[in-house]
Amino acid sequence: MQLQHSIWLFHAILATGLATWLTLAAINNLHAFHGSVWAIGNTMRMDPLRQDPTIQTPLLRRALTSLTLHRLSLGVVLALQLGAAIAAWTGVALLFGGGLAAGLPWLNLALCAMAAFLLLMHLGGLWFGYWIAQEGLQTTHLVLLLWTIALFVLFNAQRT
């Protein structure tokens, strides 16, 4: 196998994996919309800080109990996930049809949308103090953001 073919194959595998992950994330939020709204509401209501042992912090004043806001928050994340998935699959199709240069703008768009929804979740979590009682969730958001950055660097490494 020639080097350029192995590099293309690696890019193709990662791009397809990205598109698949984004699609599954969006499908999961669509199929389990009520549960996802509850999970977001759990953070926005700051429920984990109220569980035993209760954590007293002035940040509790930020808690939002509005189901409408919880649904709206998920709607924004879901719209970004769907847009990212569509852009990623477009990039994959163009990558298979014309190489990385053809698919790269769409893959970059997908990664931009992914970074946007991950930053919304991470910054929203920061606002609602999720680092205090939801460390695993914060770590997940950070690792996914690092994956997004790594893919962006990998896909664009030979372009800069």
Using CA atoms, how far apart are residues 5 and 41, in angstroms rounded to an integer?
47
Give the predicted TM-score (pTM) of the model: 0.93
pLDDT tier, 36 (very low <50, low <70, confident <90, very high otherwise): very high
> What residue spans define the domains of the chain?
3-156
Residue 54 is predicted with a pLDDT of: 87
Report how far apart, in Å, the C-alpha atoms of 112 and of each of 4, 6, 69, 136, 157 are.
26, 26, 24, 24, 16
Q: What is the pLDDT of residues 48-78, one digit of tens each?
A: 999 988 889 999 999 999 999 999 999 999 9
Residue 160 has pLDDT above 60, yes or no: no
